Amino acid sequence: MSWLRNRFSKAHRSRKESSHQIQLRGPETQEAGSPTPANETLFQSFEWHTPGGHWTRLSATLQTYADLGITSIWLPPGCKANQPDGNGYDCYDLWDLGEFDQKGARSTKWGSREELRELMAKANDLGIGVIWDAVLSHKTAGDSTEECWAVEVDPEDRRIETTKPRKIEPWIHYSFPGRGDKYSSMKWHWQQFNGTDWDQRAERHAIYKIIDPPDAKGKRPPKGHRKDWAPDVDDEKGNFDYLMFTNIDYSNPEARRDVMDWGAWMVSPEVGVAGFRLDAFKHVSWHFARDWTAHVKAARPDRDVFVVGEYWSGNVETLIKWVDRVGHGAYAYDAPLLNNMSALSLAASKRPSSLTAPPVIDMRSQLFKNALVTARPRNAVTMVTSHDTWQGQMLETPVAPWFKPLAYALVLLRRDGRPCVFYGDLHGVRGPFAAPPSCAGKLPLLMLLRRCAAYGEQTDYFDAKTNAGWVRHGTWDRPDGCVVVMSVTGAAKKAMPERYKL
């Protein structure tokens, strides 16, 4: 590690003083013990405006990611979308990974099945696990319309029905003519869904709750025995089962079986993913999430299948409930931690004036307050940015650019949580809110420090409002460790009584 310490020290001595700085040094070697496993680091390998042909692009850069310490790579949804340039969140066919001529193309936006195989093989050779973005809440672009019964609901409270039952004609029949029966013979009909947003007959957009056909007297089955929204989802908007497109009803046994079979197939040697990111799972039954997670893990008892749910909530108790209910070692994204870093960075960016009170900044109480990584460190995926939290997105959570090196130090160089590095922070972002790589080019160095130095026990020095630090003491076989000191309001000193090598 001396080369890395010397490289950082040289860069630190030569650069100009910064008002927001990170300082690192190595501590004394600790006593010998069992071998220390390498730090895990997840990499989100795309952003919203990443161009097509991405499987080939990623294959060419995997070695670089491995050198930086990436141990798993989160791919975008690579299932067939509703159009050739769809990012995959507009999912049409889970079983088509760029193999069949459907929806205007054989390949997905990201590449062909053959290119995906090459990417998977290279990742496997480098010891990088592939994490698949699983879009399981909905389907879109059905192959034909089908008549069914429905009621409209209030968009702000989906428990409230605003119309009487009537027949509608949504695009809800999925026959997959390009794929046929390969991999799965399941054809989807209205019975496998409980919501949609378009009635072709009326040519009308609304949120339609699909219901059982009324009997001859126009009566519906009693509540609790009728087709309805899933009861075990987030309670935002009364019931947040419905998100978009045609919503899958996981109380239907055929829908459950097909999606469970798909998950087992994805982790099988035929495809070989190492885990999943579960998209928009605040809109999916937690009972199904629990059963599906157990099923895919049982399908590969020889490996620890990684599962992280995108259950986006700023309430840590909600996240704890979800990971506990799903069980089986499931993770969730630490939205509360990201919210804290965003709020602190924006407050520290404000310039005091005679007309406004100075911002309240207290790193001791604000950074990790009610964060998942504090309450459940073994269930937390920590992050600084994602495609969904970038400027202009629905979950926009800005972190001030000057604070991003500090934020990445907080997730990469600490003991707890599994950090996720964002493609746009490493390579830059395209689109209407384009931006260059963040952290003034220092993100690769921080990733290397996690790979090589951030090991061992941790001593925290969060004893001041505007500066903080911690020590990673190293281990017997990874002895260098590191010291991190950061300030949000200018130059600062941090007293640490331990002795360190320079």
Q: Contact, 483 vs 468, CB < 8 A?
A: no
The answer to the question of residue 153 being in a domain is yes
Q: How much is the pLDDT for 356?
A: 60
Kindly state whether residues 343 and 413 are assigned to the same domain: yes
Kindly state whether residues 129 and 153 are assigned to the same domain: no
State the DSSP H helix or E strand holding residue 247, giving kind and residue range, or none if neither.
strand 246-248
Q: How much is the pLDDT for 10?
A: 40
Last residue of a domain, one of 190, 214, 248: 248
The answer to the question of residue 121 being in a domain is yes
Q: Which two tokens stand for residue 54?
A: 């991405």
- Residue in 133, 152, 199, 279 annotated catalytic: 279
Q: How much is the pLDDT for 358?
A: 61
Percent of the chain as helix, strand, coil, to the nearest 5: 30, 20, 50
Backbone angles phi and psi of 349, in degrees to 5:
-85, -20
Q: Is 387 helix (H, G, I), strand (E, B) or coil?
A: coil
Q: How much is the pLDDT for 497?
A: 75
The answer to the question of residue 460 being in a domain is no
Kindly state whether residues 220 and 272 are assigned to the same domain: no
- Residue in 143, 310, 334, 425 annotated catalytic: 310
Residue 127 belongs to domain with CATH number: 3.20.20.80
The answer to the question of residue 483 being in a domain is no
Residue 192 belongs to domain with CATH number: 2.40.30.140
Q: How much is the pLDDT for 500?
A: 57
Instruction: Please list the ranges in the chain whose pLDDT falls under 50.
Output: 1-21, 24-31, 502
Q: How far apart are CA 443 and CA 12, in angstroms?
A: 15
Q: Contact, 301 vs 271, CB < 8 A?
A: no
Kindly state whether residues 100 and 167 are assigned to the same domain: no
The answer to the question of residue 494 being in a domain is no
Q: How far apart are CA 232 and CA 241, in angstroms?
A: 8
Q: How much is the pLDDT for 357?
A: 61
The answer to the question of residue 3 being in a domain is no
Angle, alpha carbons 201-250-154 (nearest 5°): 50
Strand bridging mode 331-333 / 380-383: parallel
Kindly state whether residues 230 and 285 are assigned to the same domain: no
Per-residue pLDDT of 39-94, as tens digits, reads 999 999 999 999 999 999 999 999 999 999 999 999 999 999 999 999 999 999 99
301 CB-side CA count, 13 A: 1
302 is catalytic: no
Kindly state whether residues 116 and 171 are assigned to the same domain: no
Per-residue pLDDT of 475-489, as tens digits, reads 999 998 999 999 998
Q: How much is the pLDDT for 501?
A: 52
Kindly state whether residues 62 and 115 are assigned to the same domain: yes
Residue entry with tokens 């940015």: 385
Kindly state whether residues 238 and 194 are assigned to the same domain: yes
The b/e string for 464-475 (b: 16+ C-beta within 10 A; e otherwise) is eeebbbbbbbbb
Q: Contact, 177 vs 168, CB < 8 A?
A: no
279 is catalytic: yes
The answer to the question of residue 468 being in a domain is no
One-letter amino acid identity for 79? C
Q: Could you tell me the residue range of the domain that residue 225 belongs to?
A: 148-248
Q: How much is the pLDDT for 224?
A: 75
Kindly state whether residues 314 and 430 are assigned to the same domain: yes
Q: How much is the pLDDT for 498?
A: 67
Kindly state whether residues 106 and 82 are assigned to the same domain: yes
Q: Contact, 98 vs 112, CB < 8 A?
A: yes
Last residue of a domain, one of 455, 471, 493: 455
Last residue of a domain, one of 228, 248, 268: 248
Kindly state whether residues 244 and 265 are assigned to the same domain: no
The answer to the question of residue 20 being in a domain is no
Kindly state whether residues 331 and 257 are assigned to the same domain: yes
Number of domains present in the structure of the chain? 2
